[in-house]
Structure 1
Amino acid sequence: MKRSDLIKTFHLHIAALLLGCFFVMGCENDIREVNNLTQKKSMGVEEAIKIESYMSEGGKTKARLLAPKMLRFMPTGSSADTSYMEFPKSLHVDFFNDSTKVESTLDALYAKYFDAQKKIFLRDSVMVINLQSGDTLKSRELWWDQSKEEFYTDKPAEVHQRNGNVLYHSRGLRAAQDLSWRETYGNSGKVTASEQGLQ
C-alpha cells in the first residue's frame, strides 16, 4: 500500500470513530421516559363510549352510571387488584332508593374507579344533589366508597340547602350517599334566621 492510501484509510477510521462517539454521546435515555414506555406496554387498555351501567346489590338496583367515555386499565402479568377504570370526560350517577326511585344524583368532570377497593375518586366540579331535600354538596375532589355508600373528602366542600343556607367545610366532610347525614370538619357559613329561630 502506498503512503497516501494509508493516510486515507487512517483518516476514514478516525472519522468513523469520531462519528460513532458522536452518536453514542447523543443517545441518552431519561429513566422516566423508559418507565412510561414499559408501563404502557404492561397495561392492557380497553376503551368504551356511551356507557350506561347499572349497579345492584342483593337483586336490587342501587345506581345507574352514565359516561360518554370509559378507559379500563388492566395490568398484564400481575394481580387484578390493580386494575381501574377512568372516566376522563365526565360521569353521572343516579342513586335509587328501595322503591327504585332516584333519590340523589352525582356529577363530576373526571372519575377513576378502583376495582379492588370499590372506591371512586371524583375530581373537577363534583356535585351531589339529594332530590328530596334539595341539599347540594359541592367540592373540587371527593371519594365515593361504594361499599359503605358514603362520600368523603379532606378538601374544602360546601353544602347548599334549599332554604338558602350555605355551609362551608374548610377541612372536608364525610356524608351518606343520599346526604341524609353529614360529619363535617372546619365549619363556617351563612345561615338564615326565621321567626322560629335558626333553621
Structure 2
Amino acid sequence: MNFSIRNSTSCIIMLLFCFAIMGCESNFKEVQKMGFAEFSPSGDADGINLKYTDSGRITANLVSPKMLDYATVKFPFTEFPQGIHLTLYDKNGKETYVDAKYAVSHKNTNLIDLQNNVRISNQNGEVLETEQLYYDQKNEWFFTEKKFKFTSPKGVSYGEGIDFSKDFKKVNSQKISGEVQSSE
C-alpha cells in the first residue's frame, strides 16, 4: 500500500469539511430556536363569570368555559376558544343576550369578534343569527358583512350586511329580503 501525502491531505480536508457542515447545521438550528418565541397565553382561566360595572351598575356579564389572555403580545387580545354567553344590561335594566361558539376581544380597539353560530336576542323577542359579528364595546354597536337572519314579532327577514345598536332600536341593513308586518 502506497499512500501519498497528497491523498492523506485530501482525505483530511474532506473530513474537516464534513464536520464543519454538520457543525454549522447544528448551530443554525440552535440559532433558529433562539429567535423563535413561543406564542402562548400569559393568562389561562377555566369556568369564568365576569361582571362589568360602570358607576356601581352592572353593564355586562360574561360567562365562558375557557379564556386565554394574550396581554404580552404586540397587539394584546383575549380569546374564548370554547365560546361565550354575554348578557348586556341597558340603563333601564333591559337585557340583550349574545351567544357565540368562539370569540376574540381585541384590547387596543375594544372590538369583540364573535364567530360560529352567533345569536343575539333580547326580551322583546328579537333574534339575530349569523356566522360572524363584531361588537364595538365603546359605541355599543354590532356589525357584520356576513349573511344574517333577523326574527322579530313582526316577521323574519334575511340579508347580507347589517349594523345595529345593542338594543336593536337603530338598525341599518343591506341586501335584505323577507316578510315583515307593517305597523300601519
Q: Please classify the TM superposition score into its range, dividing by the shorter chain length.
A: 0.7 to 0.9
Task: Quote the offset at 1:160 in angstroms.
Answer: 1.6
- How many residues matched? 180
1:98 to 82, 91, 100: 91
- Other-structure match for 1:127: 119
Q: Relative to structure 1, is the Cα distance of residues 15 and 144 closer, same or farther in structure 2, using a 3 angstrom cutoff? A: same
Q: Deviation per CA, 1:5-53, whole angstroms, max 9, x where unpaired?
A: 8445642431341354467579988xxx98x93363xx76211111111
- Other-structure match for 1:155: 146
Contact 2:76 2:107 in 1 (8 A): yes
Q: 5+ unaligned residues in a row in structure 2: which ranges?
A: none
Contact 1:139 1:155 in 2 (8 A): yes
- Other-structure match for 1:74: 71
For the pair 1:186 / 2:175, whether they are aligned, the reply is yes
Query: When the two structures are superposed, what TM-score results if normalisation uses the length of structure 2?
Result: 0.80
**C-alpha separation between the residues in 2 aligned to 1:150 and 1:96?**
14
SS of alignment partner, residue 11 of structure 1 = helix
- Other-structure match for 1:84: 77
Q: Deviation per CA, 1:88-144, whole angstroms, max 9, x where unpaired?
A: 11011012233545x22000011111123222111111110112x211101111111
Contact 1:192 1:198 in 2 (8 A): no
The percent identity for this pair of structures is 22
Task: Quote the offset at 1:75 in angstroms.
Answer: 2.6
Q: 5+ unaligned residues in a row in structure 1: which ranges?
A: none
Contact 1:61 1:100 in 2 (8 A): no
Which amino acid counterpart does residue 124 of structure 1 have in structure 2?
N
Q: Relative to structure 1, is the Cα distance of residues 150 and 192 closer, same or farther in structure 2, using a 3 angstrom cutoff? A: closer
RMSD of Structure 2 on Structure 1 (CA):
3.2
